[in-house]
Structure 1
Amino acid sequence: MMPRFHFLSGLPRSGSTLLSAILRQNPRFQSGMSGPLAGMFSAMLGEMSGKNEFSVFITDAQRQRVLQGLFENFYAETSSEVIFDTNRFWCTKLPAIKTLFPDSKVIACVRELPWIIDSIERLVRKNAFQPSSIFNYLPGGTVYTRANGLASSDGMVGFAYDALKEAFYGEDADRLMLVQYETLTTEPVKVLNAVYDFLGESPFAHNFDQVDFDATAFDDRAGTPGLHMVRPQVKAILRKTLLPPDLFRRFANDAFWKDPQNNPNGVRIV
């Protein structure tokens, strides 16, 4: 039988790896950190587009079969009944996802933007002798230039933020659910119950005191040790921000999902 596909997306440093680590406790589920499938999907879309002179021989039906085959073959070795593929890119592809996998859902993890910028800056300072792939391994800059780069339209945070709004306000918003990092770390039972209900899955007893996930090799290669670190126990960690006050205030009002008046499509938020 073909597995059911769902997608984890949303903002960086907002709990998608943590949510994946929790979901994979269910033996029916397969879930992990951001992977290569979204990039392969995008590349194949491009190669089947008009930039290829032979695209006149490719119909939309063929494109759909090729892209669906990409998923089937990429995950051919898994025996899991439900697969969650993780990437921020998926929020930009809800129409395609709906066509390829009509029963699929997208769970987007979100977090207040100042704390996302703060979290990335904290990693940069923690790894003072290892320039990060997040900033193309460039060792210079200040907290302001790094924040500006992250928040730009093609930056790590800016792209994901714009993609999230595209999905949130789009015509396929009914298949989107937002999981707030603040709720996931303080009320994980509430979040997982809501996720299972949204997916139409039977409840599962997760262990929030023994969460396991290791991406050390990937993070080290990216020059950002700890990028995907997940603590064994799900809990909120209170701390002071590293950001200058004016920089923190710059992003303080960007959590559009917190205002019910900004949710015309009734997207489920937990």
Structure 2
Amino acid sequence: MATNPRFVGVTGLPRAGSTLLCQLLAQHPEIHCEGNSSPLCNLLIGMRHMVSDDTFFLSQLDQTFDRSYGHLTSAMQGFLHGWHHDCERPVVVDKNRAWLHAVEMLLHLEPNAKLIVCVRELGQIYGSIEAQHQRTILIDFPDHLADYDRFGRADMLFAKDKVIGIPLASLHAVTDLPKAVQKCLYFLRFEDLMARPADCMSHIYQWLGVSPLRIDPEAISTGIQESDSHFRMKYLHTQHARIAPPTHHDIAPRIQARIESAYAWFYQLYYPNRLAPQAATPAR
């Protein structure tokens, strides 16, 4: 029987380099990485919701809990492994920002799974989104944020049910996880990846247990372009053949101060020296 590939999820904040990271992971001959955002995590969460409301399943738990729960575990493991059934490489990468939120469920199904968590200075995340909105200002956001002023839009983007706020809450909850779970997480700062892509990727390849590979930042293979239209063109996933320094976004001082004040814990954990160069390391 063929061995299932080692599972690696790519997760984290939006506009924090997950598209580039997947593009670089796909350069390695031992890694299967399609690059597009995957529905796999959403489907597993949906299965949990569905079976938890299924009366036939619930009726079995009183008398045959172990057997019925075993059926469910086996079925969800089969779904997880079957999703990438055509992967012929030792490692498979699946990208979805929800993996960090669902990490304990993932590890219950696949104990050897690992997650790479992409982070970026929060003001620049907001700035990237706002800059793209200004380029497409005649189109509204999927959650209708266009009518807010810039301060109000920033406030909404960081709300607990919005595009920055949802994964940010998952990041905040990491410190509550058992140490054994935290050891499965690798935090990658966008700024480090842009400044030292070859070094960062060499370290990640080592952490994943694959053969050494030195990538060439000037010659990167591109894959299938992810669809952006269903995001109303607000969160682009463009791939490039070379790594170029990102545009620095000028943020209104009031907005930047609000972000740094509200999310001081984030800066303490990931930017203790405020954008100073620092090697990316696995969670300790």
Q: Please tell me the TM-score bracket, short chain as reference.
A: 0.7 to 0.9
- Note the 1:17-56 alignment, pairs <5 A: 17-31=19-33, 32-49=35-52, 51-56=53-58
1:60 aligns with 2:69: yes
1:219 aligns with 2:222: no
Distance (whole Å) between structure 1 residues aligned to residue 169 and residue 228 of structure 2: 25
Distance (whole Å) between structure 1 residues aligned to residue 238 and residue 37 of structure 2: 13
TM-score (norm 2): 0.83
Partner of 1:258: 270
C-alpha root-mean-square deviation of aligned residues, in Å? Answer: 2.3
Q: CA shift at 1:225, angstroms?
A: 6.2
How big is each residue's C-alpha offset from its partner over 1:128-152, in whole Å with a ceiling of 9 and x where there is no partner?
222232xx25542222222122111
Distance (whole Å) between structure 2 residues aligned to residue 244 and residue 126 of structure 1: 18
- Note the 1:200-211 alignment, pairs <5 A: 200-211=209-220
Q: CA shift at 1:215, angstroms?
A: 5.9
Q: CA shift at 1:246, angstroms?
A: 0.4
Change (3 A) 1:256 1:41: farther
Is the partner of 1:9 in helix, strand or coil?
strand
Q: Which runs of 4+ in 1 moved over 4 A?
A: 214-217
Larger Rg: 2
List gaps (5 residues or longer) in structure 2: 62-67, 273-280
Q: CA shift at 1:206, angstroms?
A: 2.0
Distance (whole Å) between structure 1 residues aligned to residue 138 and residue 88 of structure 2: 41
Contact kept? 1:94, 1:167, Cα under 8 Å? no
- Note the 1:185-196 alignment, pairs <5 A: 185-196=194-205
Identity of aligned residues (%): 25
Partner of 2:149: 142
Change (3 A) 1:129 1:181: same
List gaps (5 residues or longer) in structure 1: 261-266
Partner of 1:264: none
Q: CA shift at 1:11, angstroms?
A: 0.9
- Note the 1:230-245 alignment, pairs <5 A: 230-241=239-250, 243-245=251-253
Partner of 2:278: none
Contact kept? 1:110, 1:181, Cα under 8 Å? yes
Q: CA shift at 1:61, angstroms?
A: 1.9
